[in-house]
Amino acid sequence: MTLGAGATAAQAAPVEEAQPVTTEWVCSTMPSRVTDFRVFNGTAHTFAIQKFDAALGSFVSIEVSLDAQLTAGMQVNLNLTEPAADVTVNARYELWMNIPPEAVTPNFPPGPSDRSSTIYLPLEIPWANGPLPNGPTVFNTRVESLGGSFTSLDSGVWSGSGLQTLIFQSNTTIGATGVGGNGEYIQNTTASADLCYRYTYVPAASGPEPEPPSTPDEPTESDPAPDPEPTPETTLQELPALGAGDRFSAVLPLALGAALTILAGMMLRQRPLALGEVRPPR
């Protein structure tokens, strides 16, 4: 690959677009409790979801999953003059939770046309449909699992600081026919639920990597270093010719230096005289 002047391979590589990532599931639990729990009487359960932190990147979507378990028991007490009667007993159980930004109302679960704004989990159990004996009849306990989910793309609802709340409610009803006013119906119902959520987002782009400091180009075999510039040298042949006066001026200091050197040597070889001693002539 051929790069422009001053460019590096890292600089020339195309920048890859960030790919969406999905967080791990975050879950919270509503422990088992008796039904009904409703907004109008202050017993509804509140789930809280941490809003998406926009510092992580661009919000894409949120997935919310609600898994509930309903445990139901039924007892029918007949007070008849005859030994048995044909009885039909049906029970209806409804669990629902609003989907923000839809407002929560204390009303009974929304109708079919409005259920897109809720997670709606209905269940019907036909407890009896035939002859029941006079006196009490206890039915086996039923344990049912119900679940629903939704995905929202509304960043205005799910991004920002703080919590987004979802209200979970329940309602149960019983219908019976065949015994007039001589029957008693006792039901025991509890429900528990797990709410989980996760976000999908595009991570925020990190800043450009700093460029490495520039270094001088290293010589290569194909580009040898230039030879150093020659240093001028001065030779005797290059000295200018001297005239008579110039030669005398140049020689005189040399002659005086030599004479002083000889005189100093002679003085060093003579021994100092003792008191009263006369140096013999040479």
Q: Tell me the per-residue pLDDT of 173-206, one tens digit each, with 9 for 90 and over.
A: 998 888 777 888 999 999 999 999 999 999 998 7
Banded model confidence at residue 229, pLDDT cuts 50, 70, 90: low
Where are the chain's structural domains?
Answer: 34-203
Give the residue among 164, 46, 44, 48 at the shortest CA–CA distance from 101: 164
Chain-centre distance for alpha carbon 81: 72
Helices (H) and strands (E) in the chain, counts: 3, 10
CB 164 within 8 A of CB 49: yes
Q: What angle do CA 206, 210, 214 make, to 5 degrees?
A: 165
What 8-state DSSP symbol labels residue 220?
B
> How far is the C-alpha of 47 from the C-alpha of 115, rounded, in Å?
19
Phi, psi of 59 (to 5 degrees): -60, 135
> Quick one: pLDDT at residue 239?
43
What is this structure's pTM? Answer: 0.66
Phi, psi of 258 (to 5 degrees): -65, -40
DSSP 8-state class, residue 170: E
Could you tell me the pLDDT band of residue 222, with boundaries at 50, 70 and 90? low
Please tell me the distance from the alpha carbon of residue 159 to that of residue 58, in angstroms, as a whole number: 9
